[in-house]
Amino acid sequence: MSTHLKSFATFSAFAIASNLAFAGCDELPNQAQLKNALDVAQSQNNGGFGLDMWATIVDRDGIVCAVAMTGNDRGDQWPGSRVISAQKANTANAFSLPGLALSTANLYTATQPGGSLYGLQHSNPVDTAAAYAGPSSNYGLENDPLVGQKIGGVNVFGGGLALYKKEGDQFTVLGALGVSGDSSCADHNIAWRTREALELNLVPGGVGPNNTDGIVYKKSSGWAHPTCSKEAETVAKAIGAG
C-alpha cells in the first residue's frame, strides 16, 4: 500500500472512530435521563393539550445524542414532531453562543417577511436521509436511527433551548434540547421544565424576559412569539420561561 493510501486509511479510521465515540455527547444527558426529565415536564400543566411529546438532544456540532418520547409507542405522539424536535435542537444550538442564548421561540418574529432574519428558516436544511432512516420501531428509543447523525434544519417556533454549563464566570454551550408534540407555546414550557430538570439551564443572557432565552409575548418586540393560549402564557410566567 502506498504512503498516500496508508495516510488516507489512517485518517478514515480516525474519522469513523471519532464519529462513533460521539465525544460531544459525553457531557450531555443520556436517553434515560432525557426521558425521565421529559416525562415529568410533560405530566404538568403547560397550557397546551396535554399531548405526548418527543425530545431530542444534540451536541455542539449538531450531532444527535439522544431521542426520547413520553408515550408507550412511537404512534402515541405526532409522528411528524420527532423530526421537528430534532430541528428545534439543531436551531437552538446553531444560533446560541457562550454569551447569548436564543431559543427557537425568540426567532419567530425576526424570520417573518420584513423581519431582520427573514429567510433564516430556509437555511441549513434537514438531512432527509438521516431524518427518515429506519427501522421505525426504534424511534424514540436509545437506538433511535437519528443518534449519531447530523440532522440539520431550522425551526422558528417554541420548543428549542440551548444547553449550558458554567464554570466560574465562563459559560459553555454543550448543545441544545428540542421538544415537540403540543402547541408551540406548550412545547416551550415543556422544554424549559425539561432543561431545568437536567440542570443545564444556566444561560449567559438573552433577548427574552429577565435577560434569558424565555419566550416573549409582547407583540412590539422584534423577538416576539404568537400567543397560543392565555394559559400557556400564564404558565410561562409562573415557571420563569417567559
| Rounded Cα–Cα distance for residues 182 and 180 (Å) | 6
CATH classification of the domain holding 174 = 3.30.450.150
Residue 129, domain member (yes or no): yes
Sheet (strand 64-69) strand order: 64-69, 54-59, 170-180, 160-167
Residue 17, domain member (yes or no): no
Residue 170, domain member (yes or no): yes
Task: Count CB neighbours of 189 within 10 A.
Answer: 31
Residue 6, domain member (yes or no): no
Q: 39-65 pLDDT, tens per residue?
A: 999 999 999 999 999 999 999 999 999
Residue 10, domain member (yes or no): no
Q: 114-163 pLDDT, tens per residue?
A: 999 999 989 999 999 999 999 999 999 999 999 999 999 999 999 999 99
Residue 15, domain member (yes or no): no
pTM: 0.90
| Rounded Cα–Cα distance for residues 57 and 63 (Å) | 8
Residue 210, domain member (yes or no): yes
| Rounded Cα–Cα distance for residues 121 and 126 (Å) | 11
Number of domains making up the chain: 1
State which residues form the domain around 113. Answer: 24-239
| Average per-residue pLDDT for the chain | 91
